Structure formats: C-alpha cells, structure tokens
Amino acid sequence: MSTQVVLMTGCSAGIGLVTAKRLALESNQRFIVIATVIAMSEKSDLVAAVGDALNKTIFIEELDITKDYDITNVVDKTLKSHGRIDILLNIAGIAHGDIAELVTRDMIEKIFNVNVFGQMRLTQAVLPQMKQRKSGKIISVSSTAGRNGVPYMDMYSSTKFALEGFFESLAVSLRAFNIRICLVEPGPVRTGLRDGVVENFRTRHQDKSIDEIDTKQLQRLLDNILAENGYYDALMPEDVANVIVTRCMEPDEPVLRHLLIPEDLNEVVRIGMADLTGEKTIENVRQSMI
C-alpha cells in the first residue's frame, strides 16, 4: 500500500490522540497524518506522544470544526502540501448527560455543531478531490448510542443517530466513485468524554428540585457506569484505534458499520437491532435502571 494522507480531527486527547500516535509511529511509515486540534494550546500531549515523528509522519494543525473558515483553510493547506487527502478520519466530538427538558438551547446547538454539522461540513470539503480522483475513505467514530438511544443522554444519542443517517445515505452514492464510508460504533470508552458525562449525572443527581424517579434512575446509571465490571464496563481508546486501523484503513473495501462493544452490552445492542417495535429495547434498558 502506498503512503496514505490522513486528515483527522479530535487529536488532543482520547481516541484521536491514541490513533494519531499509532499512525505516526508505524515502523513502515504507511501514513502521513494531518492531526488537528481545536487550538494549538491543546497540542502538548500529542507532541509528547509522537516525539521525533513530529513534522515527519505527523503534522499538527489548528481546526475548530464549527468554523467553515478553519475547515477550508486546513483542507486547502493539506491539498497544497500533500496533493491529496486519501482518508478523512472524523473523531472530534463532545458528550453531555442530563434530564432532557433541562438541557439548554445553547447546549443543544453546541453538541450538534460539533458532533454533526462540523463532520458534515468537513466531509463536504474533502469530497470534491476524492470524487475527482475516484478514491478515498471517510471514517467517522459514531457510537452504539447512534443505534440504541441512551437514557439521559438524549441529545448526544440524537447527534449520533443523525451521523448514522447522513453517512449511510452518503455511502450509497459514493460507491460509484470508489469512495468508502466507515462508521465505527464503540460502546462506552474510557475517555474524558465519559468522565464528563459522569460529572453531569452526579451534578443533576444532587439537584433537590428534580423528580424522585429521575433521581433514582440517575443513581442507578451512575452505579452501572462506575461498577468495575458492570453493565457499562468501558473499552479503552486503543481498542477503538485498532478497529479504525485494521477494519477501516487497511482493507481496500471496508464495510460500512463496525460495531465494538464490551461483552456486557452484547445482548442489549443485538436485541435493539432486531427489535422492530422498539418495545423490547425500552424494557431491556429500563431493567438496567431498576
């Protein structure tokens, strides 16, 4: 395989940092990585992780995917410097957990701007040169929350459902251009996003004004998330990075969806996928909150 130019987002921490490091430090140097961070002040962990590979197999650029100017600038600069973008890897995202009616409009817009509109706009920006070359891959880190709704993460789940619809639709028309779409769908992953959701739940759980039913259900969710080998036992970022590389980047014709879940969630997700009415899914998830 010839050297592939990879433009990726969300590289300051978590799955993005781990994946960027893996690609940049490959001994056979199969990839040139354009790793983006929301601000250069956020790059220190990535710089430390890649060491001497910096400005050789990996280049760090600033990109706020909610800003069209940043998107155009990074894509144009990459094309000018490297001639093409072979792979777009969408990892940047944010999460939020709360009682649905208490989520502010500002938070709803923020999470959709990052998780949905930013990915859509960046995808639009790289597509013309991929279509012209009749070659390319677009990989998006989605979530099992985009296949089965997660209680008290209603806004986050809705962004992942939106991404699933966008990329599944896009995958059909792009096959004629030899462009492949991959959706990587991990269950819970041990990252800062997960930690943030735990804090969201803790804060709301302590709110004396909320209904007793919500209080009890939030407590049960917290118990499940924090249990060492519990219902929401989490994956590691390296697990997701491995799927991205081995199932999406290396194969010439990867399939659309790549489900990645801990054993604890196998039954829940599989029931949901086969549940035409949605009732079995609701009851199965509710049982975890009783």
Distance from the first to the final alpha carbon of the chain:
51
The verdict on residue 180 lying in a domain is: yes
Q: How many CA atoms lie within 13 A of 268 on its CB side?
A: 22
pLDDT digits over 137-149, tens only? 999 999 999 988 9
The token pair that represents 114 in the structure block: 């990052």
The verdict on residue 68 lying in a domain is: yes
Q: What percent of the chain has pLDDT over 70?
A: 95
The verdict on residue 274 lying in a domain is: no
The verdict on residue 290 lying in a domain is: no
The verdict on residue 283 lying in a domain is: no
Question: Which CATH number goes with the domain that contains 35?
Answer: 3.40.50.720
The token pair that represents 204 in the structure block: 């709301």
Question: Is residue 233 over pLDDT 60?
Answer: no
**Boundaries of domain holding 59:** 4-190+236-267
pLDDT digits over 217-231, tens only? 999 988 888 874 444
Phi-psi region of 248 (alpha: psi -120 to 50; beta: other; left: phi over 0): alpha
Contacts of residue 257, defined as CB under 8 A and 6 or more positions apart, other chains included, come to 182, 183, 185
Q: What is the dihedral of CA 117, 176, 248, 265, to 10 degrees?
A: 70
- Read off the amino acid at residue 262: P
Of 180, 172, 178, residue with least CA distance to 88: 180
Does residue 156 carry a catalytic annotation?
yes
Report how far residue 208's alpha carbon sits from residue 204's, in angstroms, rounded to the nearest whole number. Answer: 9
> Which among 69, 152, 156, 231 is annotated as catalytic?
156
Report how far residue 36's alpha carbon sits from residue 175's, in angstroms, rounded to the nearest whole number. Answer: 27
The verdict on residue 202 lying in a domain is: no
Of 94, 90, 93, 95, residue with least CA distance to 225: 95
- The whole-number average pLDDT for the span 148-173 is 96
Q: How many domains does the chain have?
A: 1
The verdict on residue 219 lying in a domain is: no
The verdict on residue 60 lying in a domain is: yes
User: What is the value of pTM for the model shown?
Assistant: 0.92
